[in-house]
Structure 1
Amino acid sequence: MTLDRRLHAYREDLADKALQGQVTAARFVVGDPASIAVPVVGLRPKPDAAGGIDTELLHGEDVVVFDRAAGWAWVQAKSDGYVGYLPESALTDVMEPLTHHVIVPRTFLYPGPDLRFPVSAVFSMGSRIAVIGEAETRGTRYFLLSDGRAVVAAHCLPLGTYATDDYVAIAARFLETPYLWGGRSGFGIDCSGLVQLALQMTGRSAPRDSDMQASGLGDAIERSDLRRGDLVFWKGHAGIMSDDRTLLHANGHTMTVALEDFEAAVKRIGWLYEMPTGYRRPVA
């Protein structure tokens, strides 16, 4: 059996030591822990900035680093197991005790606790931060980070707690967000990224790509049973049922996250992706 290179770190010259005996490589190593130090970074199949991205990682997400060379790091994401290359500069080896995550589509970071300060960065929903204190300015409460920056406290919750268990409502907060191939953030997102991030923000885990989701996320159901929260899959596409007649999905037709009549979407998508390949209901 050939292991999926998206989810298993192995090359001819180097592989994850956990795969010893399963794959052939010149050398096996135990990776080093690190985390993402920038707001968002693309994870690529090759160490080439001119190439496309497979997915994105967000600030504070943990990775295992297997190799560093020529400014690139070969890593595996701890959250979903995805393997790829990212700029080494996007990583930090200083593993702060993360305390909170961002629960709104986007939030600003300021150099201090004041919304009138110039913005220093923007974080996406799902980003993880280490809060070391609090402050209040003109009635607005802020969380303080170790580097002195501040974020609006109402935009965050402690890790392990969630604003809602309704992942459809979470996905709907991304309406009109631009479509981005490989995107997984409030700045740009693709179809399976929307499914994964919405589920993650309710405490549910999900694979990254649509084929992975279609093969094992939740339980298979019939088309006639579709209801709010069910997932619809085509070969290369995924969407969430907003209700039994409406599809919510990031798509290349509108180039946004949009709502679309489900039957109309089936007809429109059919010429490129044929008919849906399956329907699944995530575990509650």
Structure 2
Amino acid sequence: MTSLPDRRLNAYRPDLAETALKGVVEAERYTDGTPATVALPVADLRPRPDLAAGIDTQILLGEPVRVLDRADGWAWVKSGLDDYVGYLPETALEAAAPAATHIVTAARSFVYPGPDLRFPMRRALSMGSRLAVTGEAETRGTRYLLLANGEAVIAGHCTSLSAALSGDYVAIAARFLETPYLWGGRSGFGIDCSGLVQLAMMMAGMDAPRDSDMQAKGPGTPVERADLMRGDLVFWKGHVAIVEDVDTILHANGHTMTVAREGLTAAIERIRWLYAEPTGYRRP
């Protein structure tokens, strides 16, 4: 019996499937979907259109999606960044958003009604949020980037998308230390183990799939524990950690309920009772 494609990365239901799955799955009809952009700071993506359903992942402000269906206030979408499929409220989407020009590089930042940090902030943004910037301003020595609606963000908290993202992804991950652990989280307000890996790598210009089982299969090459170096990944069943140095890992974890720094040997001993030994080590 042929197994069905991974539902996390392939959009299909009995009544509807994405066009790329013609001949792979049966559906009443197929669609290419329509483009849209996430308009909220963080949008929770769920496996079904139900607020009681746990979240699979999150999509950040300005990130692109393809909308495959809309019904009862929900949109069935596929992420334009990592192909993750799920449901989010229609109110989280904007159909005709201007093209993003900048990306937030601070772990968390604020949007102000104008270029003045004394103004009451309107909302908070996570690292990875994408913005369409229309101008710049300076007030009392602080530089701001201006958005089309007149709102402003701190210029030093952003970088241009036209400049290739780069850097040490481990150092980027360390900026999330003490961020609360959130199952399915992928933002500076709450993040899980694989979300931390994916977001930090994305900000360093690297591609990474969303979930730890996907990350364990690549991209990259397997390595032995004795050969671990900074930037390698350690996998357990359902968990992933980043090697900061040969003795230390960074990971979002349910033990501290934060992004934390921990000794590798101590972590292996602590986790053994729940997830047994690490299932593998990988160099991205």
Q: TM-score range by the shorter chain?
A: over 0.9
Moved more, 154-163 or 206-215: 154-163
- Inter-partner Cα distance in structure 1 for 2:273 and 2:142: 51
Matching residue's letter, 2:130: R
Matching residue's letter, 1:138: R
**Partner in structure 2 of residue 249 of structure 1:** 251
Q: Is the 8 A contact 1:106 1:122 kept in 2?
A: yes
- Paired residue secondary structure (2:216): helix
**Partner in structure 2 of residue 61 of structure 1:** 63
Matching residue's letter, 2:154: V
Matching residue's letter, 2:70: R
**Partner in structure 1 of residue 204 of structure 2:** 202
Q: Is the 8 A contact 1:103 1:163 kept in 2?
A: no
Q: Is the 8 A contact 2:101 2:162 kept in 1?
A: no
Matching residue's letter, 1:237: H
- Inter-partner Cα distance in structure 1 for 2:175 and 2:52: 31
Matching residue's letter, 1:200: M
Q: Equivalent pairs: percent with the same residue?
A: 65
**Partner in structure 1 of residue 89 of structure 2:** 87
- Paired residue secondary structure (1:63): strand
Residue 50 of structure 1, CA deviation? 1.1
Q: How does 1:16-95 map to 2 (within 5 A)?
A: 16-95=18-97
- Paired residue secondary structure (1:215): coil
| 1:232 aligned onto 2:234 | yes
Q: Is the 8 A contact 2:194 2:212 kept in 1?
A: yes
Q: Is the 8 A contact 2:166 2:205 kept in 1?
A: no
Residue 162 of structure 1, CA deviation? 5.7
**Partner in structure 2 of residue 150 of structure 1:** 152
- Inter-partner Cα distance in structure 2 for 1:279 and 1:159: 32
- Inter-partner Cα distance in structure 2 for 1:177 and 1:162: 26
**Partner in structure 1 of residue 141 of structure 2:** 139
**Partner in structure 1 of residue 15 of structure 2:** 13
Q: Is the 8 A contact 1:101 1:128 kept in 2?
A: yes
- Paired residue secondary structure (2:217): helix
Q: How does 1:94-105 map to 2 (within 5 A)?
A: 94-105=96-107
- Paired residue secondary structure (1:200): helix
Q: Is the 8 A contact 1:184 1:190 kept in 2?
A: yes
**Partner in structure 1 of residue 187 of structure 2:** 185
Task: Give the TM-score taking structure 2 as reference length.
Answer: 0.98
- Paired residue secondary structure (1:224): helix
> Over residues 10-48 of structure 1, what are the superposed CA-to-partner deviations in whole Å (9 max), with x where a residue is unaligned?
011110011111111111112000000000011000101
Moved more, 34-43 or 155-164: 155-164
Matching residue's letter, 2:53: G
Structure 1 residue runs without a partner (length 5+) = none
Q: Is the 8 A contact 1:247 1:260 kept in 2?
A: yes
Task: Give the TM-score taking structure 1 as reference length.
Answer: 0.98
- Inter-partner Cα distance in structure 1 for 2:179 and 2:202: 18
- Inter-partner Cα distance in structure 2 for 1:55 and 1:82: 8
**Partner in structure 1 of residue 266 of structure 2:** 264
- Inter-partner Cα distance in structure 2 for 1:42 and 1:269: 28
Q: CA RMSD in A?
A: 0.9
Structure 2 residue runs without a partner (length 5+) = none
Residue 115 of structure 1 is aligned with which of 114, 117, 122?
Answer: 117
Q: Is the 8 A contact 1:160 1:203 kept in 2?
A: no
Matching residue's letter, 1:241: V
Residue 217 of structure 1, CA deviation? 2.6
> Over residues 55-111 of structure 1, what are the superposed CA-to-partner deviations in whole Å (9 max), with x where a residue is unaligned?
000000000000000110000001000000000000000131210000010000000
- Inter-partner Cα distance in structure 2 for 1:110 and 1:62: 24
> Over residues 161-220 of structure 1, what are the superposed CA-to-partner deviations in whole Å (9 max), with x where a residue is unaligned?
367510000000000000000000000000000000010000001000000000113111
- Inter-partner Cα distance in structure 1 for 2:211 and 2:150: 36
